[in-house]
Structure 1
Amino acid sequence: MPLISRRNWIGGSLFSTLALNGGGSVARAAASIPRPSMHLPLWPGDAPGGSGVTAEAAEIPRSAEGPADDTAFVHVRNPFLIHMPPVVPNGAALLMIPGGGYVRVAVGRGGRAMADYFARLGFAVYTLVYRLPADGWAAGPDAPLQDAQRALRLVRSLAVSDGFDAERVGILGGSAGGHPAARLALRQDIASYSPLDAVDRLPLAPKVAALLFPVVATTGPYAHRGSVEQMFPGGTTEVAAAPYAANALVAPGTPPTFLAHAMDDRVVNWRNSALLMDKLADASIAQQAHFFEAGGHGFGLEGPAAHWSDLFLEFARRHALI
């Protein structure tokens, strides 16, 4: 996969940006205007454990009928961050982890629109394009977690150069991307890879976590079977899969967590969020959970569940992310 340089600009030309000091509705309306972004390599060399990986990386259309810029990444071999700078910085950064059923990383138009939305609210936004567990990585189902942990540390290392507070970094993951995002937040006790450089000596410690319609269960009736099959392409047992559930354990350092799920979600059952909510409550972790009557799977900034973003911003302010 060609790339990747900090000076490689994509996603639209530079233009005079508007100073947006209003609420979410203002930024939502302005998000139709494309903004520039940059690609940043995640690892200093090859990603760890790739000797058995042979699949060729590609960026593909999300659907045959969709617009040309609505794409997803498959067979990722050189994971990277897409950095969208803030319009008027608020001093915080947000690591976004998109979904895709662990078959692809579906950045797409919706993901770019969401990154743009938060950038217009002042966040330095970094979207993670991560490795997929079924491609033969030595870490298997932990490969996305390796990338998520490295990404959070790399974002923190950029605080001075990119103009935000290193202590004010949040994470936001959705659907299958909610699985590594939840494990990143809840399982800071897992050392998923050996340190490579000074970046890896930085703490994880996200300020807050936001999980939208996340894949949580790896066993039982509410597990998202497609994601579990990708995590364990050779098959597995419930005993072997259980430790990889996002609610398997709440480790020390788990940040305040925001959950949003629609009860008419036909892809990832809303009980995934309920299971995680219960686990966080048992561990006395500050949390806020919203279960919307309607919204389906993958709701973004439009539709009956769109006001999740305003609710999240209130939560983020209350817990000092912004």
Structure 2
Amino acid sequence: MDAKVELKRVMFLLVGLLCAFYGNAQERQPIWPADKMPDAQSHQIASMLDEAEKADFDADKHRIAYLEWYEKPDPAIANKACMVLISGGAYNSCCDMNLIELWKKTFSDLGFQCVNLVYRTPRPIGIPIYQTAWEDGQRAIRLVRSEAGKHGFDPEKIGVISMSAGSHLALMLATSSSVPAYEAIDQFDTIPCHINYAIVNAPAYVTTDGEAGIPAWLQGYGPDVRLSACFRFDDKTCPMSLHHGGMDEYSPNGSTLVYHKLRSMNIPAELHLYPNKGHGAYGLERGVEFLRQIGIMGPLDQEVDIMTRYAGDEDRKEVVKQNVWPDGKMPNAQEHQLLPYIEWHFPKVLKTKAIQIIYSGGSYEGNDPNGFEVAPARRLLNKLGMTVVTLRYRTPRPKGLSKHITAWEDLQRTIRLVRSQAATYGLDPDQIGIMGSSAGGHLTLMGVTSSRHNSYLPIDEIDKLPCDVQWGIGIYPAYVLSDGFDGPNTNKGNDENVTLAPEFSFDLSTAPMLFIHGDADVYSAMGSVKVWEKMRSMGIQSELHTLALRNHCFQSKASPGTGSYTWLDRIVDFLKEQKKLDHE
């Protein structure tokens, strides 16, 4: 670089520094030399919306995209990572000032160096709506990487958090760094522009029915709808945490499709889907847990056994045990199977009339109503004032029948028993939910989706009652997909032609569900995702969380501060949203 060019660049940076100090920003750094910005268009500006709306705003002084560097984190907590903040605004403005402030505070307090990327808007004319923002984004990441030494972070620990159109841009940066968005202009453009992690909120324009810059007019469904081809998913594609509202007009199916693609590339990822939520950023703490789990925030704390965390029954008032079937009336009785029974666990202080039925997994070869898949949830819900019924269903697998048939009979009978006795205990017979893990998660799907399909012939008056439920909770459900009917999924559930198991009817009584699944589970998380997609196509809003790098039985032992440690809180949140627990 000759002396004149270098002097010009230095002067330009100094000008940027002189106007840098507004809000909580420490330094404003122009992304481009004034005469080198590609695809410059006279109607575009680079400014956050609150600044652009000021009466004295001079557009000509705000043409060049810039980085806004915030103060370095406290050295005592600095984690050597950088978080780039990217606002949304339909590619027509950078409008998420409140989110930028929230993200800056959250991640600065966690030890990240934070920097706000302010890219050019409104949409360019004659080129893709994202083109100038993508150019700004690639250049910005190169400059951020070049500043790593100065600002004290690792150049391979650069990530983004984003919203809406900003999340479309984040996906471009996360998936397509090998494709140059512009022709190189100086030595900075020899620096790699990949990012290392991303928290992507409500990405817009991801599916082909909305890629022109409109809401997904087919809701992200159908044989003609695919991921937009602008996302290349190259070999630098990074781990991501995708967050989306189930009612978002910028379809959450865009996030499920991105998640599926990441899984097919063996890239750790999380997917967090929120029922009845529109366009917005949800679950920030889930994103923090994701970063902690994948090691961005340093080594994980030692894992803790969940049974030591929920060890006692001090919040339980009493237990009532009863057999599921009258003597001599159990259908398909087989001598090698255990006798099924239920236990009512009543809380000391009843705070809700709703009832949660819980049972474990065990490959349909065994099940334990007192183990780690049942007892912690039961104890927590008792503490919160909810009555819990535990079920020990028949195992091992029946001979001459499908693996789940006798357990399904036991579950349908259990729901009817609970419904028949609820009023006696001052509970609501029409507020019953079911929860199971692994094979028990499969059983939960049977109970949720197929209650109009009787699994046995009636034996008494109780069997005249319906066996539908009002909600379900599926924890890493197994045997959900066609490549894993009777064991682990043969290709991680990632093949395009994999279908849902045929035993799920998805009848008119199908209820909303919460799914929690390890992303690395050999019983594929895509089972939960595909059920979520199916329910959404029926107009049923469910919730879903997958956990990066976590396998089957993720909760048995988990590190504090990760999603595998806080998973029971997702159940409590879900029950509160379903109005089964009081908001306290």
Are the equivalent residues in 2 in contact too, given 1:86–1:121 (CA < 8 A)? Answer: no
Change (3 A) 1:75 1:218: farther
1:99 and 2:88 aligned = yes
1:276 and 2:226 aligned = no
Matches within 5 A, 1:96-245: 96-132=85-121, 134-136=123-125, 141-220=130-209, 225-226=213-214, 242-244=228-230
Change (3 A) 1:287 1:76: farther
Cα separation, 2, equivalents of 1:59 and 1:145: 17
How far off its partner does 1:226 sit?
3.1
Number of the residue aligned with 1:82: 68
Change (3 A) 1:74 1:250: farther
Cα separation, 1, equivalents of 2:69 and 2:272: 28
Cα separation, 1, equivalents of 2:235 and 2:61: 33
Number of the residue aligned with 1:55: 43
Are the equivalent residues in 1 in contact too, given 2:49–2:94 (CA < 8 A)? Answer: no
Are the equivalent residues in 2 in contact too, given 1:75–1:104 (CA < 8 A)? Answer: no
Change (3 A) 1:281 1:37: same
AA in 2 matched with 1:130: Y
Number of the residue aligned with 1:319: 294
- Out of 232, 235, 247, the position equivalent to 1:252 is 235
Change (3 A) 1:190 1:163: same
1:56-82 superposed Cα distances (whole Å, 9 cap, x missing partner) = 636654999xxx8xx9x9996310111
TM-score, length-scaled by structure 2: 0.42
1:137-193 superposed Cα distances (whole Å, 9 cap, x missing partner) = 767642111111111111111111111111211122210111111011111221111
1:186-239 superposed Cα distances (whole Å, 9 cap, x missing partner) = 11221111222222111123221111111242522x5574379xxxxxxxxx99
Q: Which has the higher Rg, Structure 1 or Structure 2?
A: 2
SS in 1 for 2:172: helix
Change (3 A) 1:108 1:122: same
AA in 2 matched with 1:8: C
Q: Which runs of 5+ in 1 are unaligned?
A: 13-34, 229-237, 300-304
Are the equivalent residues in 2 in contact too, given 1:4–1:40 (CA < 8 A)? Answer: no
1:105-155 superposed Cα distances (whole Å, 9 cap, x missing partner) = 114233223222212221111111112373337676421111111111111
How far off its partner does 1:321 sit?
2.1
SS in 2 for 1:170: strand
Cα separation, 1, equivalents of 2:80 and 2:164: 27
Number of the residue aligned with 2:19: 8
Are the equivalent residues in 2 in contact too, given 1:62–1:108 (CA < 8 A)? Answer: no
How far off its partner does 1:242 sit?
4.5
Cα separation, 2, equivalents of 1:150 and 1:63: 23
AA in 2 matched with 1:293: P
1:235-275 superposed Cα distances (whole Å, 9 cap, x missing partner) = xxx99x9433x4xx31111111111112132x422112112
Once superposed, what is the RMSD of the aligned Cα atoms?
A: 3.3
Cα separation, 2, equivalents of 1:140 and 1:262: 24
TM-score, length-scaled by structure 1: 0.73
Number of the residue aligned with 1:293: 275
Change (3 A) 1:49 1:224: closer
Count of aligned positions: 268
Are the equivalent residues in 1 in contact too, given 2:93–2:122 (CA < 8 A)? Answer: no
1:253-298 superposed Cα distances (whole Å, 9 cap, x missing partner) = 1111111112132x42211211211222222221111112244322
Change (3 A) 1:136 1:270: same
- Larger relative contact order (CA 8 Å, sep ≥ 6): 1
Cα separation, 2, equivalents of 1:100 and 1:214: 11
Cα separation, 2, equivalents of 1:260 and 1:87: 26
Cα separation, 1, equivalents of 2:48 and 2:114: 21
AA in 2 matched with 1:273: S
Cα separation, 1, equivalents of 2:213 and 2:51: 21
Cα separation, 1, equivalents of 2:131 and 2:178: 14
Q: Which runs of 5+ in 2 are unaligned?
A: 1-13, 217-223, 298-584
Identity of aligned residues (%): 27
Are the equivalent residues in 1 in contact too, given 2:162–2:201 (CA < 8 A)? Answer: yes
SS in 1 for 2:17: coil
Are the equivalent residues in 1 in contact too, given 2:211–2:228 (CA < 8 A)? Answer: no
Change (3 A) 1:60 1:156: closer
Are the equivalent residues in 2 in contact too, given 1:153–1:202 (CA < 8 A)? Answer: yes
Cα separation, 1, equivalents of 2:168 and 2:155: 24
Number of the residue aligned with 1:232: none
SS in 2 for 1:134: coil
AA in 1 matched with 2:285: D
Change (3 A) 1:157 1:63: closer
Number of the residue aligned with 1:31: none
Cα separation, 1, equivalents of 2:61 and 2:121: 7
Mean Cα deviation higher: 36-45 or 90-99: 36-45
